[in-house]
Amino acid sequence: MLPTSFLKKRNWSSRLIFDEIANSGWVNPGIDHSFKEFFMADLVSEYDSVNLYNFLYSRRKDFSPYFVQYLDFWYADERNHADGFFELNRLVFGTSETSLLQELQGRTADFAGLDSILSSEFNLLLMFAYDEYVSVKTYKKDKFYDDFGHPGFKGWIKNLIADEAIHFGNAVKILKTYYADKLHEAENVLKMISSFEGGNYKNTFLFDHDGPHFSLSCDEVGDVVIQEILQILCKRQQ
Ligand SMILES: [Fe+2]
Ligand SMILES: [Fe+2]
């Protein structure tokens, strides 16, 4: 039996938060229509976690029990995030459920070319650490929720950011605890991972960094993220 406290998991519901906003008598303060495309990009990005989760599912027998638990916690959170963007689109823009589902269904992922990242649990953990760290940085820039006319919007995105930070922290914890003897390889693996920045997004959940929802410039990803992650990995080692 795994110690339940080893990996962190927050339990909260996007749908509950948006229900509360909808039932509060909230009136749309005139949220700009350009956010529709922005939120749709966030929605599909979070939703594509299903593709990565399913892709890795057949390899669970090869993974450590900690990483299997990591994937289950992570996927449950990403689905909750996708639910939130689903509700956000419906509440703010009145987008019909049918049209949202049409956009989401039938998306297929292409993991070809990502073999070097997906080849080992160690590489996957560094990939999650990198991707989740970048997610925290970009979501933190989304300050516009403050102006949406209800504190629930800000509360919701704060919950979402806290989850992304925990996804990062959980990956670091597994790396530190079970891969301490391999951490000297982390820099080269992270460099290999960041070399995928700038490529076309193929519905894999990974490196979805070229849409309207991605608020970081190219000098805010890559090397600077690698150095920050390495510092955190090393600091906790001492
Ligand atoms: Fe997420
Ligand atoms: Fe995440």
Q: Nearest ligand to the C-alpha of residue 84?
A: 1
Residue 3 has what pLDDT?
Answer: 54
Q: Which domain holds residue 40?
A: 14-20+31-235
Residue 216 has what pLDDT?
Answer: 62
Asked if 67 and 172 count as a contact pair (C-beta separation under 8 A), the reply is no
Query: Ligand 1 mean position to 168 CA, how many Å?
Result: 11
Any domain includes 9: no
Query: Ligand 2 mean position to 168 CA, how many Å?
Result: 8
Burial of 25 (0-12, 13-18, 19+ CB in 10 A): exposed
Query: Ligand 2 mean position to 78 CA, how many Å?
Result: 6
Query: Ligand 1 mean position to 136 CA, how many Å?
Result: 9
Q: Nearest ligand to the C-alpha of residue 48?
A: 1
Q: The CATH number of the domain where 94 resides is what? A: 1.10.620
Residue 237 has what pLDDT?
Answer: 46
Any domain includes 126: yes
Residues 6 or more apart whose CB falls under 8 angstroms from that of 231 comprise: none
Query: Ligand 1 mean position to 191 CA, how many Å?
Result: 23
Residue 106 has what pLDDT?
Answer: 80
Query: Ligand 1 mean position to 16 CA, how many Å?
Result: 17
Residue 68 has what pLDDT?
Answer: 97
Collapsed DSSP state (helix, strand, coil) of residue 62: helix
**Domain count for the chain:** 1
Query: Ligand 1 mean position to 238 CA, how many Å?
Result: 30
Residue 201 has what pLDDT?
Answer: 84
Query: Ligand 2 mean position to 76 CA, how many Å?
Result: 10
Residue 238 has what pLDDT?
Answer: 46
Any domain includes 90: yes
Any domain includes 5: no
Query: Ligand 2 mean position to 134 CA, how many Å?
Result: 10
User: What's the token pair of residue 31?
Assistant: 């949220």
CA dist 186 and 84 (Å) reads: 34
Any domain includes 6: no
Any domain includes 3: no
Any domain includes 212: yes
Q: Nearest ligand to the C-alpha of residue 167?
A: 2
pLDDT tens digit at each of 238 positions of the chain: 655 689 999 999 999 999 999 999 999 999 999 999 999 989 999 999 999 999 999 999 999 999 999 999 999 999 999 999 999 999 999 998 888 888 888 888 999 989 999 999 999 999 999 999 999 999 999 999 999 999 999 999 999 999 999 999 999 999 999 999 999 999 999 999 998 887 788 888 887 766 666 666 677 777 889 999 999 998 754 4
Asked if 136 and 161 count as a contact pair (C-beta separation under 8 A), the reply is yes
Any domain includes 2: no
Residue 197 has what pLDDT?
Answer: 80
Query: Ligand 1 mean position to 221 CA, how many Å?
Result: 18
Query: Ligand 1 mean position to 161 CA, how many Å?
Result: 8
Residue 148 has what pLDDT?
Answer: 97
